[in-house]
Structure 1
Amino acid sequence: MGEMLITKQRENIPVVIVRPSVVESAYREPFPGWIEGNRMFDPLMLFYGKGQLPGILENPNAVIDIVPVDIVVNTILVAMAKHGREAKPELNVYHAASSVSNPILFYDFFKYSCDHFKSSPLIDRDGKQIRITDMKFLSSLSDFSSYISSEIIQQNGLRDHQAVPDEKHFVKIKTKCEKLENFFCIWLRFMNLTCFSLAGQILFQPRFDNAKVKALMKMMSVEEKKLFACDVGIIDWKEYVRDIHIPGFRTYVLKGK
């Protein structure tokens, strides 16, 4: 709606619109992994690292669109420089996105997250390392609820053959299950509203083409490309998720806790 309003009222003013996808931590600047806030995929990643989300309701082959914040900033600067200098009364739209040039799958995201947390696990309140397993992808909400409940019950030291826990302990476990399921359902609804996949049933999975950003890059000198890197194609997702993003999240958001 904001874009529609600007388009209608801009008259002869040159306008540049940059549409970023899911903005995550910096790839290089101001330093690798810099991030503020717990957003988008990060809550899922954190629940997974804590051992509280061993399964997810999603298609492992669905493409997610992530872009580091410094690439978004550089795209804005380069687009401003080009169209500000030309000062033509045009409307130009750029996608700062990765799903066409350098896509990453849900499976890959959690595989690289698993690699990180296995080599550098989180520590629980008792000072013990939290052990995680490979992410399990589930295709229905009922399967997800059953699987998560079963896993949390087992994590709390209970098994099917054991006696029923006291009421206080049982309520605590039940509340924990319900909170996690409610959080995930809210997250899933949000992701569905933003046109991502719905629980393994791909209703509408868009790809955001950054061809216009690539065209901008062709006009830049070698030195400018180094100073204002906006090429998502250079990102090694394994390195980014495992060695840059999660360590940055733990440092700047969790602050080592």
Structure 2
Amino acid sequence: MAKQTEGAGVSSSKVLEQLRGKHVLVTGTTGFLGKVVLEKLIRAVPDIGGIHLLIRGNKRHSDARGRFLNEIATSSVFDRLRQENGEAFETFLEERLHCVTGEVTQPDFGLQPDAFRKLAGDIDAVINSAASVNFREELDKALSINTQCLQNIARLAHQNPTLVVVQVSTCYVNGMNSGQITESVIKPAGEDIPRSPSGFYEIEELIRVLNDIIADVRSRYSGKILQRKLVDLGIREANRYGWSDTYTFTKWLGEQLLMKALEGRALTILRPSIIESALEEPAPGWIEGVKVADAIILAYAREKVTLFPGKRSGIIDVIPVDLVANSIILAAAEALGEPPRPRIYQCCSGSSNPVSLGDFIDHLMAEAKTNYAAYENLFYRRPVKPFIAVNRSLFDALVSGARIPLSLTRSMMRLVGMLGQGGELKILQNLDTTRSLATVFGFYTAPDYIFRNDDLLALASRMGEVDKALFPVDARQIDWAVYLRKIHLAGLNRYALKARKAQRPRTSRIRKQAA
């Protein structure tokens, strides 16, 4: 943890100067990105006034402080802080880390009016990274956490007119638009939605209609059927207006809600692309859980998927989580020091340092072939079949063909490496896995868009060389071969996957059976 100092490096940092003495509310710290933002603020911004965390209680820990200490503070994301200066870290948690027990989807976070007003008055900025990133979430849940709960953020700002709001969104609010996607308000690619002269889209009537449809579905179904109907409803409505899934649709709606509610105030929307493991901080490869690309990597490593719909020449926009956290902190510092206005930044790699889906796959297969044994939690053995990306039409034909008597498609399956020693049942099980992953992620592996981050890079330049070093955001520093093969796979193996249970020797099992 950095020491509080007035040294030359610190004093010439615009970010550290703007955040000195400031109090920042961070939501979503039970999640992957939120933890990295929190860790970086504690470690790299020594003179921050305080960090406030909104955390929901759960069955094990009814209050925010208890849940933080037992479920968040124990995370390996803080290993570096503990190793560098554990005493200072613990002191920070005691003196400048403030936990607020609340629920983002409840009116005023579920706080009493006086407590809500006090929270608004105590903070200078809010970083909202809370979200449901389930691409196929039930529509009511996705609307609640990704859209409607942002009314609470707006009410905070209305209680405190100088409050800076940084809303974490996603580059994929671009939906089904193609081409160069700039850091601007996104026009829906589907049915028309009225647009305000101020630039944002008027969504109140659309949300009312969606809630009416949800209420109708709820009145007619229950249990698992209701859940499935609400998932299907979300996908159908997202497709109607130009999005591939409920997550990106409701995140776009959230952007519009905040742009209208905070018109004329300090609002920055920060859109990351596909967030993956850390490039450098807090440790190379640090990750929590299995992310978007990792579900496909894991299925390939376990030999469940060798065929996937995708465009090898398409740019798969991946960005390390530490670059995203740095972008958020840069954006907050800028908004604290500049006149209030709406800003949009995209933290991505596609326009400045692109990696194609084909190169992504080739790096994965090369590392699996030459070094699989180094990743004992990821690869149980050396994969013997290639990972093949094919166009959607061929993929659908192959998957559908497997439901015909398998003897008719056996030769075709052998050509693409999907006929294994486990027989027809294993083939069908693997095809089910492939089809399931393709349903969720297929849109992201056949991109015909490129995200631009010109404005974010310009922000980094305005902040100066010191902040470029302290809070790097430029994807051009990534060597994709090194990152994908040596950093990301190692991070998955170490941080995201559990160690395999020790296997008893085969001979001991035989002896036990004989006895």
Task: Kindly provide the CA deviation profile for residues 94-149 of structure 1, in whole angstroms up to 9, marking residues without a partner as x.
Answer: 00011111111111111111122112226899x97333344223231223655895
| Equivalent pair of 1:15/1:90 in contact (CA under 8 Å) | yes
Tell me which residue corresponds to 2:451: 208
Partner of 1:59: 311
Instruction: Give 1:228's aligned residue.
Output: 471
Aligned partner of 1:242 among 457, 476, 485: 485
Residue 53 of structure 1, CA deviation: 2.0
- Greater shift in the superposed pair: 2-11 or 115-124: 115-124
Q: Which is richer in helix?
A: 2
Equivalent residues in 2 for 1:178-217 (5 A)?
178-188=431-441, 191-192=442-443, 197=446, 205-217=448-460
Query: How is 1:117-156 mapped onto 2 (pairs within 5 angstroms)?
Result: 117-121=368-372, 129-139=381-391, 140=394, 141-143=396-398, 150=414, 151-156=417-422
- Contact persistence 1:117–1:132 (CA under 8 A): no
Question: Does the CA-based 8 Å contact 1:114-1:133 persist in structure 2?
Answer: no
Q: Find the aligned partners of 2:307 and 2:429 in 1 and give their Cα distance.
A: 15
Q: Return the alpha-carbon distance in structure 2 between the equivalents of residues 81 and 59 of structure 1.
A: 39
Aligned equivalent of 2:12: none
Change in 2 beyond 3 A, CA 1:113/1:239: same
Cα distance in structure 1, aligned partners of 2:269 and 2:376: 44
Is the Cα contact below 8 Å between 1:152 and 1:173 reproduced in 2? no
> Alpha carbons of 1:175 and 1:56: their partners in 2 closer, same or farther (altered >3 Å)?
closer
TM-score of the superposition, structure 2-length normalised? 0.42
How many Å separate the matches in 1 of 2:458 and 2:305?
41
Which residue is 1:99 aligned to? Answer: 350
1:176 maps to which residue?
429
1:116 aligns with 2:367: yes
Pairing partner for 1:39 from 283, 291, 297:
291
Q: Is residue 284–residue 491 contact of structure 2 (8 Å, CA) maintained in 1?
A: yes
| Cα gap change, 1:54 to 1:63, in 2 (>3 Å) | same
Percent identity over paired residues = 28
| Counterpart-to-counterpart distance in 1, 2:311 and 2:278 | 27
Larger Cα Rg: Structure 1 or Structure 2? 2
CA distance in 2, matches of 1:181, 1:56: 7
Secondary structure of the residue aligned to 1:241 is helix
Larger deviation: 45-54 or 236-245? 45-54
Alignment deviations for residues 53-76 of structure 1 (CA, whole Å, 9 cap, x no partner): 222221111111111110000001
Name whichever of 4-13 and 25-34 sits farther off: 4-13
Give the Cα separation in 2 of the matches to 1:222 and 1:177: 50
Secondary structure at the aligned position of 2:487 is classed as: helix
> 4+ runs of 1 displaced by more than 6 Å?
none
Structure 1 gaps of 5+ residues are 159-169
> Match for residue 76 of structure 1?
328
1:17-76 CA distances to partner (integer Å, 9 max, x unpaired)?
Answer: 100110111001000101111121111111222233222221111111111110000001
| TM-score normalised by L of structure 1 | 0.81
Name the CA shift for 1:179/1:124 in 2 (closer, same or farther; >3 Å).
farther
Aligned equivalent of 2:87: none
AA of the residue aligned to 2:439 = I
Cα distance in 2 between the residues matched to 1:111 and 1:185: 19
Q: Equivalent residues in 2 for 1:154-173 (5 A)?
A: 154-156=420-422, 170=424, 172-173=425-426
Please tell me the root mean square deviation across aligned C-alpha atoms, in Å.
Answer: 2.6
Determine whether 1:90 maps to 2:345. Answer: no
Equivalenced residues, count: 232
Deviation of 1:153 (Å): 3.5
Q: Does the 8 Å CA contact 1:112/1:241 hold for their aligned counterparts? A: yes
Question: Kindly tell me: are residues 155 and 229 of structure 1, through their superposed partners in 2, closer, same or farther at Cα, counting changes over 3 Å?
Answer: farther
Q: 8 Å contact 2:351–2:453 — kept in the other structure?
A: yes
- Matched residue of 1:207: which SS? strand
Q: Which moved more, 1:220-229 or 1:89-98?
A: 220-229
| Post-superposition offset of 1:179 | 2.3
Q: Is the 8 A contact 1:111 1:134 kept in 2?
A: no
Aligned equivalents of 1:93, 1:60: Cα separation in 2: 30
Q: Distance in 2 between matches of 1:132 and 1:187?
A: 26
Q: Which residue of 2 aligns with 1:48?
A: 300
Where does the alignment leave 5 or more consecutive residues of structure 2 unmatched?
1-252, 403-408, 501-515
- AA aligned to 1:54 is T
Between 1:246-255 and 1:44-53, the stretch displaced more is: 44-53
Letter of the 2:363 counterpart = Y
Output one character per residue of 1:218-256: Cα deviation in whole Å (capped at 9) or x when no partner. 123332211101111111111110000111011111134
